[in-house]
Structures are given as structure tokens and as C-alpha cells.
Amino acid sequence: MSIRPNRVAVDNEGSRFYTIIEVFSYDFNRLLYNVTDAISHLGLNITVSKIATKVDQVVDIFYVRDENEAKMDDPAAVDQIKKEILAILPAQTNE
């Protein structure tokens, strides 16, 4: 069985009005809460979310804007989004 690593993608091209955050991970208790809490602590407002789970693999997609209703297109802000969300996902090992 192959282990798929956690991944966070931030897309500013897929929507004219929103930054799209895609979170790929294995499912665990409180995953959705932890991710949305991290997004909130970044000062982002979630307008739309799409949540999908297949067996134990999760793809959560969030359409967000900042407190000024703007996209997060600054490269440093994009890196911070990825860093903060990846930090709450569990480390994966090859068992």
C-alpha cells in the first residue's frame, strides 16, 4: 500500500473572487475542525466548503477571502496558509 503524503494546495487562478485551499490527508478525528480552526486563525473567512472522504482519504476544499474580502495572493501569505494547515495534520509514516 502506498502512503500519500499530506498536501495543501492554494489556488488563486480558479476563482475571480476567492482563494481556493485544497487539503489532502488521511481522515482522523477532528480533522475538519482543526483545518477550519487554522483557517480562521489566519484571519480568513470561509464562504464555501466542499468536503469529500473516500475510505480514509480526505479532500477538503475551501473558498476563502481575508477580512477585507480580498484574495490571498501575496506569496508570503500563501506560504503561511500552507505551513499553518500542514502543521495540524498528523505526521505520516511508512508502517
| Number of domains, the chain | 1
Note whether residue 23 is domain-resident: yes
Q: What is the mean pLDDT of residues 36-51?
A: 97
- Tell me how far apart the alpha carbons of residues 39 and 31 are, in angstroms, rounded to a whole number: 12
**Of 33, 24, 34, residue with least CA distance to 3:** 24
Percent of the chain with pLDDT over 90: 79
Task: Quote the pTM value.
Answer: 0.89
Parent domain of 13: 7-88
- The beta strand positions in 1-95, using DSSP E, are 7-11, 19-26, 44-54, 57-66
Nearest to 31 by CA among 51, 47, 5, 1: 51
CA distances to 2, 51, 53, 70, 94 from 81, in Å: 27, 18, 22, 15, 26
Does 93 reside within a domain? no
At 42, which CATH number?
Answer: 3.30.70.260
Identify whether 69 is part of a domain. yes
